[in-house]
Amino acid sequence: MKLYLILCLALTGCMIVVQKPVKPLVSSYDGNVQNSGVITKTMDGFKVTSHFRDRYNSLIETYGHTKLQDGSPVFNPPLEKDKGLKANNDGTYEITAQAMSWMVQMSEMQRQGFKP
């Protein structure tokens, strides 16, 4: 009986728990507004906040020049800061639909723990 109890305790201590990735169900807050920094859809893309621009450029710094295991680039040509962004006069920015797709891809890379 003691051997069975010791064996059960030993096996329980060696168990590995693998957590599933967290999938966000709602938009994050940008300031006091729950919009993830996206203000509105435009004809050519989206109107976004300066905080969104900061996150976009931060992701470009991390993933903009990333290569896959075979040496091929993830983004061809590599992304540079403010690629696809244009400043508005009111402190907001216009981001193209293509640049928004890069943002989504880089955000998912970060969420999945992809190492550049």
| One-character DSSP codes across 7-39 | HHHHHHHT---PPPPP---SPPPBTTBSSTTEE
Q: What's the predicted TM-score (pTM) here? A: 0.75
Show Cβ contacts of residue 57 under 8 Å, excluding neighbours closer than 6 positions. Answer: 81, 82
Show Cβ contacts of residue 8 under 8 Å, excluding neighbours closer than 6 positions. Answer: none
Helix (H) or strand (E) holding 98: helix 97-111
Residue 84 falls within a domain, yes or no? yes
| Residues of the chain under the 50 pLDDT cut | none
Residue 93 falls within a domain, yes or no? yes
- The number of domains in the chain is 1
Residue 33 falls within a domain, yes or no? no
pLDDT for res 19: 64
Residue 36 falls within a domain, yes or no? no
pLDDT for res 18: 65
pLDDT for res 53: 95
Alpha-carbon distances, residue 82 vs 23, 64, 108 (angstroms):
27, 11, 19
pLDDT for res 29: 75
Residue 105 falls within a domain, yes or no? yes
pLDDT for res 36: 78
Residues 56-75 have pLDDT tens digits of: 999 999 999 998 889 889 99
Residue 116 falls within a domain, yes or no? no
The SS3 assignment for 103 reads helix
Would you state the torsion angle of the CA atoms of residues 77, 57, 83, 66, taken in this order, to the nearest 10 degrees?
10
Domain range for 72 is 53-111
Residue 92 falls within a domain, yes or no? yes
Residue 74 falls within a domain, yes or no? yes
